[in-house]
Amino acid sequence: MKRIILTILAAIALAAAPAAVEAQTTDITATIAALNAECPGKLGPGLTCIGYELKADEGVVISLLIDENRASVENMKTQAPMLTEIFASEIVSGRSPEMAQLRDYCLAASKPIIYRFAGNQSGTGFDVTIPPAQLKE
């Protein structure tokens, strides 16, 4: 009897999981729209956030433009491991409610947050990917 109850509870949990992710997708779409309303936004010397996207096959993608008159794409790329740590720490800190919502969505959907860098002149770029495991507190 106990096994039957556990099996039923597991089935209910699995059936509810897609609905929970679907509800979060609606919420995250509104959050992304609010974040995009603030774009473009300067993040520092030579770096501009140009937009946020929810991509079903990738996760949350944050597009960043590097001003190649101020910074080299190759130099930034060599800093990718450090950038990964900085971004992950910032997301996990929960200082920004919007980033906390992005994190919660990505954890529930098992998707990463991807910072996609591109040079404003060359168009070359690279990604800094924060996997779900690194988004946990």
Residues with Cβ within 8 Å of 48's Cβ and at least 6 positions away in sequence, in order, are 40, 41, 42, 64, 65, 67
In the chain, % of residues over pLDDT 70: 80
Tell me the three state secondary structure of residue 106.
helix
Beta-ladder partners of 113? 60, 130
d(C-alpha 46, C-alpha 70), whole Å: 5
pTM of the model: 0.79
* Tokens encoding 77: 């790329």
Does the 24-135 domain belong in CATH 3.40.50.720? no
Rounded to the nearest 5°, which phi and psi values hold at 60?
Answer: -90, 125
Q: Which of 64, 54, 43 is closest to 113 using CA atoms?
A: 54
pLDDT of residue 94: 79
- Total number of residues shown for the chain: 137
Q: Are 103 and 59 in contact (CB under 8 A)?
A: no
- Report yes or no: 97 and 35 within 8 Å, Cβ to Cβ: no
In the chain, domain spans: 24-135
Tens digits of residue pLDDT in 54-101 = 998 899 999 999 999 999 999 999 999 999 999 999 888 878 899 899
